[in-house]
């Protein structure tokens, strides 16, 4: 790797002296990472600063050729001379460093594998000695702890003697006096002797206290026995008095029971008399209630007859009103049907006259078109556009004629088929006049299998009869006429675009 002259300042050669683990002739290169990286990117940072000064003085405007050239120039400078060149320098400088790192890891692993057995040999000897010393310390500590617990056990004897009898405490004193501390206590021998002396004194005091407590307890026991005898004598006297009181109470209760039985018998006789009187009154009340029920039943029957008569009269009046209204509705429908038939006859006559006139016009136009076709063979190209316009006009006239012809055919069919005409127009008009509109626009589309708009139906002559919120409503009786109008419209469109 060739270093830039300025980079040499960031690289120092350090000789590793003998005794540090490597031969004295070895030379290793030590890098200052911060300085080295700074020197690698210094040319690009200098170039960037120069370009930034120039770029800050320029307002990019790519709308002109010169401005576009300036933008391309400086974009290339920032991209190629700074970013891409810096990336190349980074990759070039980083590759050998990464290789050195990989080689260092590999050689260190080899060195580690070679030195591990020898290092472990001496390490294991050191650790074994450490463990032996630690085991000795642990054993000594265990013995010291055991000795300490023996001293503690001596000092805890007074606590164990609390609440014991004088005899038990005397046995504890005898056992402690026989157990003279010896050399097995080691450094705690003096402490054991001191504890033994102090505990013997405490046990002697506890023994005296226990003896006094036992004597006091014996005295209290004797007093309690005497008190118990006195209580038994008092209880016997109380028992005799209680027995006498119970005998007197029993005699009094027997007399009270006799008097209560006599009073109960008298009360029962009075109750029987009251129940008999109540039964007589109830029988009289039941008889009166039956009379009242029969009277009310008669009143209800008469009211029911009156209500039935009134209901029959009202039903007859409703039937008469319904028959009158039906007669008026039928007469109005017949008048409307007659007016509709007269209007259809008039429209049919006018349509027929218009069809004849339009047929004559179509014949004349076709003759003129034939003459024009012959003339186009020798005429100039400009005449062709006029001919096309004539064709378009003829097609429109033909479409109108076909539409009128379809209307005329519908009217003729209506006149020839009286039953069918009545279903499509007469009865339909009457139903439209008397039946509320309930056919929705979406239902019409579902019947036809296509989508329709209210504006399109209006253009065919069928405006919405009512609305239900956003829905448009039509008379169901108008659906056959809608189909006929839609057929005429399709025929006219077909004729218009088939030319």
Per residue in 205-216, pLDDT (tens digit) is 888 888 888 888
Residues β-bridged to residue 11: 31
The torsion defined by the Cα of 103, 107, 112 and 113, in degrees rounded to 10, comes to 120
CB 192 within 8 A of CB 181: yes
CB 47 within 8 A of CB 82: yes
What is the rounded CA–CA span in Å between residue 238 and residue 177?
59
Look at strands 27-31 and 471-474 and give their pairing: unpaired
Other CB atoms within a 10 A radius of the CB of residue 205 amount to: 13
Q: pTM score > 0.75 for this model?
A: no
Q: Find the angle CA(124)-CA(130)-CA(135) to the nearest 5 degrees.
A: 125
Angle between helices 166-178 and 189-375 (to 10 degrees): 100
What is the rounded CA–CA span in Å between residue 190 and residue 196?
10
- Please report, for the chain, how many H helices and E strands are present, in that order: 12, 5
Comparison of pLDDT for 419 and 486, the residue scoring more: 486
| Range of lowest pLDDT (88-97, 143-152, 244-253) | 143-152
CB 432 within 8 A of CB 478: yes
pLDDT attached to residue 421: 38
Element (H, E) at 473: strand 471-474
Inform me whether the pLDDT recorded for 306 exceeds 70. Answer: yes
Inform me whether the pLDDT recorded for 356 exceeds 60. Answer: yes
pLDDT tens readout for residues 115-169: 999 899 899 999 999 999 999 999 988 888 888 888 888 888 888 888 888 888 8
What is the rounded CA–CA span in Å between residue 216 and residue 208?
12
Element (H, E) at 11: strand 11-15
Q: Which residue in 166, 179, 163 sits closest to 207, CA to CA?
A: 166
The 3-state DSSP composition of the chain as helix, strand, coil percent (nearest 5) reads: 85, 5, 10
Q: Where does the pLDDT of residue 14 fall: very low under 50, low under 70, confident under 90, or very high at 90 and above?
A: very low
3-class SS of residue 488: helix
Look at strands 466-468 and 471-474 and give their pairing: antiparallel
Identify the top-confidence range among 230-234, 319-323, 403-407: 230-234
Average pLDDT value over all residues in the chain: 80
What is the rounded CA–CA span in Å between residue 400 and residue 207?
143
pLDDT tens readout for residues 374-423: 765 555 555 455 545 555 654 555 555 545 555 544 544 444 444 443 44
CB 293 within 8 A of CB 285: no
Annotate 156-221 with three-state secondary structure. Answer: CHHHHHCCCCHHHHHHHHHHHHHCCCCHHHHHHHHHHHHHHHHHHHHHHHHHHHHHHHHHHHHHHH
CB 387 within 8 A of CB 370: no
Q: How does DSSP classify residue 437?
A: P
Contacts of residues 456-464 at CB distance under 8 Å and 24 or more positions apart, as own/partner, are 457/482, 460/485, 460/486, 460/489, 461/485, 464/437
pLDDT attached to residue 403: 52
What is the rounded CA–CA span in Å between residue 485 and residue 372?
35
What is the rounded CA–CA span in Å between residue 478 and residue 50?
87
């Amino acid at each position: 790797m060739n270093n830039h002259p300025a980079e040499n300042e960031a690289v120092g050669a350090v000789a590793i002296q003998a005794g540090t683990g490597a031969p004295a002739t070895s030379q290793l290169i030590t890098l200052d990472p911060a300085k080295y990286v700074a020197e690698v990117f210094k040319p690009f940072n200098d170039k960037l600063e120069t370009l930034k000064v120039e770029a800050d003085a320029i307002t990019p405007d790519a709308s002109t050729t010169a401005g576009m050239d300036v933008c391309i120039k400086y974009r290339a400078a920032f991209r190629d001379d700074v970013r891409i060149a810096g990336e190349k320098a980074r990759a070039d400088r980083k590759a050998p460093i990464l290789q050195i790192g990989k080689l260092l890891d590999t050689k260190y692993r080899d060195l580690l594998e070679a030195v591990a057995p020898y290092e472990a040999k001496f390490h294991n000897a050191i650790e074994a000695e450490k463990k032996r010393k630690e085991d000795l310390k642990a054993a000594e500590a265990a013995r010291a702890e055991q000795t300490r617990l023996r001293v503690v056990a001596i000092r805890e004897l007074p606590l164990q003697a609390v609440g014991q009898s004088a005899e038990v405490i005397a046995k504890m004193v005898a056992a402690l006096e026989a157990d003279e501390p010896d050399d097995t206590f080691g450094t705690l021998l003096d402490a054991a002797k001191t504890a033994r002396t102090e505990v013997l004194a405490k046990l002697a005091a506890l023994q005296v206290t226990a003896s006094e407590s036992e004597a006091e307890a014996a005295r209290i026991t004797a007093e309690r026995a005497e008190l118990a005898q006195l209580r038994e004598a008092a209880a016997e006297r109380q028992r005799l008095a209680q027995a006498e009181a119970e005998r007197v109470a029993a005699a009094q209760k027997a007399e009270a029971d006799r008097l209560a039985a006599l009073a109960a018998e008298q009360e029962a006789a009075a109750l029987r008399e009251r129940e008999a009187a109540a039964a007589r009154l109830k029988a009289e009340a039941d008889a009166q209630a039956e009379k009242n029920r029969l009277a009310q039943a008669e009143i209800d029957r008469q009211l029911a007859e009156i209500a039935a008569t009134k209901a029959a009269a009202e039903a007859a009046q409703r039937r008469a009103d319904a028959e009158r209204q039906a007669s008026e509705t039928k007469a109005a429908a017949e008048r409307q049907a007659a007016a509709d038939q007269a209007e259809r006859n008039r429209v049919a006559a006018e349509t027929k006259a218009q069809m004849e006139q339009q047929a004559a016009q179509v014949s004349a136009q076709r003759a003129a078109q034939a003459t024009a076709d012959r003339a186009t063979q020798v005429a100039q190209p400009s005449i062709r556009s006029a001919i096309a316009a004539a064709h378009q006009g003829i097609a429109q006239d033909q479409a109108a004629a076909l539409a009128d012809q379809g209307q005329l055919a519908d009217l003729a069919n209506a006149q020839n088929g009286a039953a069918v005409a009545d279903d499509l127009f007469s009865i339909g008009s009457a139903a439209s006049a008397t039946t509320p509109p309930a056919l929705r626009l979406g239902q019409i589309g579902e019947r036809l299998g296509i989508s329709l708009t209210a504006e399109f139906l209006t253009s065919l002559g069928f405006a919405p009869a009512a609305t239900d919120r956003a829905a448009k409503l039509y008379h169901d009786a108008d659906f056959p006429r809608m189909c006929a109008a839609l057929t005429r419209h399709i025929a006219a469109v077909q004729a218009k675009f088939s030319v």
